[in-house]
A = this chain, B = another copy of it.
């Protein structure tokens, strides 16, 4: 899993926090909906369509987080003048790219 990085610059404005929580709750509901579809022996291709829709919703949460990360956390690291910290932030983002 993940480990806390208490020293990282973390900043999520309250409205972004609210938006993220709202979207993740909706995604949780969608995943429960998938379980229901499986229970009710729904047509596989319809379940696959719903999975694609959950994937899309997660990508959209990822974009919101990325925007926040680039605007706040990563920007702070890049501006800090600490080359090692800036490099770490860049590697992190490159690693996540295309996942």
- A binding-site residues for B, Cβ under 8 Å: 1-5, 8, 10, 12, 17, 20-21, 24-25, 27-28, 31-35, 37-39, 41-52, 54-56, 58-59, 61-63, 65-75, 78-79, 86-87, 89-94, 96-99
Contacts and interface: CB of A to CB of B under 8 A. Distances in A.
A73 B21 contact: no
B52 A99 contact: yes
Q: How many copies does the complex hold?
A: 4
B2 A59 contact: no
| Chain A contact residues, majority secondary structure | helix
Contact of A62 (B21, B35, B51): B51
A48 B96 contact: yes
Nearest to A4: B42
